[in-house]
Copies of this chain bind each other. A is one copy, B any other.
């Protein structure tokens, strides 16, 4: 894409409301726009990152048997009443102007997926099943803050699993847990993300959150460095102890929840009477698990981790483009154009800053946007038959022969 065409721009002056790093950096780079408190538009660069995160999540969840669907956001009052969740403050509600129909906007989807799966599940042969969606959720947060961390509208992957017994649920729960690590690894925040023991609600001792360390996070966790797990302060009574090894040498950190996995057991299957006939012809209750992954929150989390004082530094797996091409002078625009076309032909995603701006301005913008590799086309180097390539994360550039560009680039991507 040519940057002259991109309708967004970077901006140095942003709202003073923006305190969290992800908020500041994503506004400055032109990745998001704030419509209202806790409500954001994903701009072209931001949407590209989000789609890459979505596709990583999709690939991994498909590979553990997840089947993708898309449930509605308008969920009838009756469904929420079945589970006694109609009157929660987290829900935005709306009412039809025609008739009496009332809806709660989906902030979670057990009330939809449970009766849905019921329609297609009769016997043990239909189990286990895992169904997920990547969808917009609405939550009436009291005080939206910290950029994409606490918002009223966001994108989430929610997976629900259905099992014949707790043993089967436990086994799938472990599978998802392992897969979540892989997702965080792929998007680039594995190192700062901890499996965190949290409240299990009515039925389980614990649920598990995935908490990424961030000073702008909502939660306080205690990390056991030996076990590489943490415990959420919310469930600590008295002294904090590692739930794995019993160690009391824990490190307190602020953190943001980027995922959670939860054994629901029969909490939702019971009110919807979701049962199956087992292999001896007896009717049993189905047990469920649910597994959330914050897509837009992870987008913010990656921004929070990958940056320096000049701007963002996207890991390649989720970068909006692989390459940022900059011609420093108008005189070498033709050379840059050739490279641009060549990279497009090679299916290497490239943003070309083709604008008639000074080198200094282009470098500043490029730092703000944070594309991992930068190709610099300058008069001086072109005369030598060379190009300068600089990784966003490194200080020193390398110089390569123009005609070696594609193979050299492919090694670096």
Contact = CB atoms under 8 A, between A and B. Distances in A.
Contacts of A197: none
Nearest to A121: B7
20 contacts: A7-B67, A7-B117, A7-B129, A9-B120, A33-B119, A35-B72, A35-B79, A37-B101, A39-B76, A41-B70, A41-B112, A41-B116, A42-B69, A44-B67, A73-B138, A74-B152, A89-B98, A97-B140, A98-B140, A98-B141
A71 B41 contact: yes
B101 A36 contact: yes
Given A47-B68, A69-B43, A74-B153, A35 B138 contact: no
A44 B68 contact: yes
A67 B93 CA distance: 32
A367 B105 CA distance: 36
Interface in A43-91: 43-44, 47, 50, 65, 67-76, 79, 89
B67 A33 contact: no
A282 interface: no
Contacts of A50: 70
Contacts of A42: 69-70
A92 interface: yes
> Which of A37, A69, A72, A103 has the most chain B CB atoms inside 10 A of its CB?
A72
Interface in A90-137: 92-98, 101, 103, 105, 112, 116-117, 119-121, 126, 129, 131, 136
A216 interface: no
A5 interface: yes
Contacts of A119: 33
Given A33-B119, A120-B7, A140-B98, A47 B69 contact: yes
Given A7-B131, A33-B116, A69 B97 contact: no
Contacts of A65: 5
Contacts of A131: 7
B41 A72 contact: yes
Of residues A33, A42, A74, A98, which shows the largest number of chain B Cβ atoms within 10 Å of its Cβ?
A: A74
Interface of A: 5-9, 33, 35-37, 39-44, 47, 50, 65, 67-76, 79, 89, 92-98, 101, 103, 105, 112, 116-117, 119-121, 126, 129, 131, 136, 138, 140-143, 152-153
Give the top 4 A-B pairs by smallest Cβ distance, nearest first: A42-B70, A92-B94, A98-B142, A94-B94
A161 to B, nearest CB: 11
Given A7-B121, A98-B142, 9 more contacts: A7-B120, A33-B116, A33-B119, A35-B76, A39-B76, A74-B92, A97-B140, A98-B143, A105-B105
Given A47-B68, A72-B39, A72-B153, A105 B98 contact: no
Contacts of A97: 89, 140, 142
A189 to B, nearest CB: 22
Contacts of A129: 7
A92 B94 CA distance: 6
Contacts of A120: 7-9
A8 B71 CA distance: 14
A227 to B, nearest CB: 36
A39 B74 contact: yes
A126 to B, nearest CB: 8
Indicate the member of A40, A71, A94 with the most B CB atoms within 10 Å: A94
Contacts of A140: 96-98
B68 A35 contact: no
A286 to B, nearest CB: 12
Contacts of A37: 101
A247 to B, nearest CB: 40
A283 to B, nearest CB: 19
Contacts of A7: 67, 117, 120-121, 126, 129, 131
